[in-house]
Structures are given as structure tokens and as C-alpha cells.
Amino acid sequence: MVTLQVERVSKLYGGFVALQEVELELGCGVYGLLGPNGAGKTTLMRVMTDLLAPSRGRVLCNGRDIHAMGADYRDLLGYLPQDFGVYPNFTAEGFLCYIARLKGLGRAAARQKTAELLELVGLSDRRKRRLGGFSGGERQRVGIAQALLNEPQVLILDEPTAGLDPQERIRFRGLLNRLGKDRLVLLSTHIVSDVESAADQVILLRRGQVIGQGTPTELLRQLEGKVWNVPVTAQEQEALAARYPCSNVSRVDGVTYMRLIADAPPTGRAEGVPANLEDLSLYHFGQTDR
């Protein structure tokens, strides 16, 4: 079983602190790194892939410094960068074979692995098509496939669901589930529903700091008794919105309900409801990105 340890990692860009003393311990399973734009997700992932040197701290894989491991670590690692670009004139099959060869697979092995992975990401029927004509979601699936070519023990996916439509998102969750069974998968996202249904553990990153880690259920405990469904009049709505974080507004049978986060019932008609990750995200990150 593989483990990754992030030990007091800080990263400064000039005077700007992008990561501050990040401590993490990861084993097998699917981890969702959740944070708003600019939180430091990509920076942390680049440090964890050894593409970016931290200003302080280090990352260990099975107890060994990943930078010192060099090629040994890259053999264990699969990575989907946030800005994954493809060569438009390659076919899906041609591209994966090409990358497989770059990763050191022999010709026959490259071909076989390519066929296997195209099947896994559901692109076998489109293997002869050029990537230039692929949809965003299809391209993203090629990206996931290339990250899996060397059967990595550590799989790091930066915003893998960007550009996927709702159906593709569901399929992707199924794929993640299978992948997380016997390896370490870390994916970043700012979409709460991605981690809600796909991640075993959620890591909350805000302004370069880890502000929480745990299973969704564990993290939601902090909000127990703090989420309220409140029927409101048009006049009340504005005042309540100014006073409390509001994670949803809905209308049922002509009545407007606000979903508010507050330590005590915001009005006499407020009804306590179980918290969800959307509430948690609002609670920690607010409505606006940094």
C-alpha cells in the first residue's frame, strides 16, 4: 500500500504565500482537494508531483523524499495537469501509444495498454478519431487515460471534471471508485458535488492552508445544528441575506425558503435541517473566491 506525506510544505511566489505549512497524510483511496479559485490546489499538486520545489518542507512517498526518488517516483505517479493540452492531429489511439512509448513501454505493450485504457474511459469506439474534434469531456478522458498508462500507484488529477457534462460526471465517479480501490487518488475541484459523491476523504484548502480534512460525514459534524430552512416574506429576505450566509433559496407552493447557516434559529419559523457539503463550502469559503 502506498502512502504520501506532505510535511510542513510552504510555497512562496516572491512575497506571496501560496501554501502555508501544509501537513497531509494520504493512503489508498480517493481524496478530494476542495477550495475556491486561487486557494493553492494546483500549487500543492505540482509540489506533490515533484514538478515544483516547495520553499520549505518536503513530500515523502512510502517514507522516501519524492525529490530524491526522482525517476523511481515518476514510475509510481500518474498526473493530469489542469491545463492538459493535446495534439489535435493525433488520433486518441495514436496519442496514447505515443505517450506510452515516451514512458518507456515497448511497442506491443503500448498498444495493448492503450486499448485497455480506451475501454476503461469509454472511448474505444472513438479511438481512430482525431483529438482536435473531441469534446471537452472526451479530451479530459484521454487525459485521464494518459495518466494511467504506467499503472500508477499515485494518481493526481487537477480538476479532472472540468468540462464534463452531468452524465460524464456520473460516469467519471464510477471510474474514480474503481481506481481508488487499490491506489491513492487525489483530485482537485471547486465543485462540491464532485467530492460529495466520489471522495472518501475531503481536504479543505483555503488561502494556502488546510483548514479541514476528513470524511464528508466527519466534516459535516461541525455544522450540526447550524443549518436552517426558513420560510421568509419578501421583506425579510434581504435582511436575513445580509445577516447570515445563505446556501440556497427555493420556492415551494408559493412560499420562499432560505437555507441559512446560523448558530441559533434565525427566526421563530426556522426549521433545523441536516448540513450538506454545499453548506460546509459556503461556511468556510463564502460566496466569493479570493
Ligand X SMILES: Nc1ncnc2c1ncn2[C@@H]1O[C@H](COP(=O)(O)OP(=O)(O)OP(=O)(O)O)[C@@H](O)[C@H]1O
The tally of CA atoms less than 13 A away on the side-chain side of residue 133 is 7
Tell me the window of 23-31, 39-47, 67-75, 254-262 that interacts with ligand X (CB under 6 A): 39-47
Q: Are 163 and 134 in contact (CB under 8 A)?
A: no
CA dihedral 36, 154, 10, 222 (to 10 degrees): 50
Q: Which of 5, 43, 213, 276 binds ligand X (CB under 6 A)?
A: 43
Query: Is position 233 an interface residue for ligand X (rule: CB under 6 A)?
Result: no
Residues 7, 21: Cα–Cα separation, whole Å: 8
Q: Is 39 in the site for ligand X (CB under 6 A)?
A: yes
User: Would you tell me the crossing angle of helices 92-102 and 107-120 to the nearest 10 degrees?
Assistant: 130
Residue 190 interacting with ligand X (CB under 6 A): yes
Site string for Mg ion, 74-103 (x = CB under 5 A): --------x---------------------
C-alpha cell at 96: 496514447
Within 10 angstroms of residue 192's Cβ, the number of other Cβ atoms is 21
* CA distance linking residue 241 with residue 156, whole number of Å: 38
Q: What share of the chain is helix, strand, coil (3-state, %, to 5)?
A: 40, 30, 35
Closest approach of ligand X to the CB of residue 45, in Å: 8
Residue 128 burial (C-beta neighbours within 10 Å; 0-12, 13-18, 19+): exposed
* Interacting residues with Mg ion between 38 and 57 (CB under 5 A): 41-42
**Cβ closest to ligand X, residue 126 vs residue 190:** 190
Partner from ligand X, Mg ion, none binding residue 270, C-beta < 5-8 Å depending on class: none
Interface residue with ligand X among 9, 18, 105, 220 (CB under 6 A) is: 18
Q: Is there binding between residue 41 and ligand X (CB under 6 A)?
A: yes
Is 143 near ligand X (CB under 6 A)? no
Residue of 8, 13, 87, 250 that binds ligand X (CB under 6 A)? 13
Nearer to ligand X, 13 or 87 (CB): 13
Residue 201 in the binding site for Mg ion (CB under 5 A)? no
Binding site for ligand X (CB under 6 A): 13, 16, 18, 35, 37-43, 82, 190
Enumerate binding residues for Mg ion (CB under 5 A): 41-42, 82
